[in-house]
Amino acid sequence: MLDQITHLFRLRTILEEGSLRRASEKLNLTQPALSRSLAQLEAHFGQQLVERHARGVVATAFGERVLAVSTRIERYWDIAEHELTAGTTENKMRMRIGAGPLWRSGILSPVFVEMQRRFPWLIFELVPLTYGGTITDLREGRLDVAFSGVMGGVAGEISDDRLVRHKLTEITNEVMVREGHPIFGNVDRYGTIRPAALLDYPWIVYSEWPIYGEITQHMIYERLGKDADVRMLCQNLLTTLTMLQQSDNLCLLPEFAVISAQAPRIVPLPVTVHPRRADVGIVHREELSQWEPIQTLVELSHNVFTAKGLETAGAA
């Protein structure tokens, strides 16, 4: 088994480098040794893994599948090896965490402060999710954990049995404005605002992911039969929040995206616009379920959402 794993790791380097010569230089192995590894893998699987051409080698369709699996195996091996050598080495390892744009607004900061305290041997690598590529990155081991949708939406439909989902909250996009916004002058005796008032003010569309712009335009048009007066598209959440604080703009955002905004606060409008809901939380590969850092990350994340009153409340 270990021999096959060694051959898989060599295959990955060959395909990453695109040639046997460059792979042999990187691995400090001879080209004949790499050719033998390729031959043994192809004999084992009964299919061709690479195609040779004048400039090097490229993966066949089956070779791409084997490459994806080998990447996941290597990641699991790294984690297992670190657990087995704990106490005998000071080497650190990384936990690769993908987070959608709203998760990077600061709501997870208490989680990572505590994770650093409990696991000083871990380096937490927090990176943006690749739009449309989250599930593939999880399956193939480029990510260990993703904070995103857990049943669909921005993360894609997650139905793979190899992936485990932990729901943290149900999120709802709401129309957000600064405290003291003039639109509150339209509040009726029932404490609500007529939807038509949304057309009287300019809008900012938070656009780090395309879905937010689509949701904003669809929501307004579906409810009022007219497009929103969009004056700004902004990919940066901090800039979006600052613009909301300093202007009369409206913006569609989830509650937990605006928690950090103060003086003035950003608050939801009491207006009925048929908001879109989605379950969000943590997704990881099944083989990591017993890894203590993963178990702790899930526990701490639930605690943070409970403390903020968001575990079953709306946000998007």
Q: What share of the chain is helix, strand, coil (3-state, %, to 5)?
A: 45, 20, 30
For residue 120, the domain's CATH number is 3.40.190.10
Residues 125 and 262 in one domain: no
Instruction: Read off the pTM.
Output: 0.70
Residues 246, 115: contact at Cβ < 8 Å?
A: no
- pLDDT value at residue 314: 38
- Note whether 114 and 300 are within 8 A (CB): yes
pLDDT exceeds 90 at position 124: yes
Final residue of a domain: which of 71, 101, 127? 71
Using CA atoms, how far apart are residues 280 and 144, in angstroms rounded to an integer?
A: 17
Joined together, the tokens standing for residue 104 give 């990077």
> Same domain for 233 and 161?
no
Do residues 137 and 65 both lie within one domain?
Answer: no
- 21 and 151 in a common domain: no
Task: Tell me the pLDDT tens digit for each residue of 33-79.
Answer: 988 988 988 888 898 998 988 788 888 988 888 887 887 777 877 77
CATH of the domain at 63: 1.10.10.10
Q: Do 155 and 288 have their domain in common? A: yes
Q: Which residues pair with 52 in a beta bridge?
A: 57
pLDDT for position 144:
94
SS3 46: coil
SS3 273: coil
Regarding whether 209 and 268 lie in a shared domain, the answer is yes
Domain count within the chain:
3
Are both 207 and 283 inside the same structural domain?
Answer: no
Average pLDDT over residues 86-104: 79
Which residues form the domain of 60? 2-71
Closest to 302 measured CA to CA, from 138, 147, 120? 147
- Mark whether 202 and 165 lie in a shared domain: no
Lowest model confidence (mean pLDDT) among 89-98, 272-281, 296-305? 272-281
Examine the domain organization and report whether 36 and 157 are in the same domain: no
- Please indicate, yes or no, if residue 77 is contained in any of the structural domains: no
Nearest-angstrom CA–CA distance, 231 and 217: 12
Compare 146 and 130 and report the one with higher pLDDT: 146
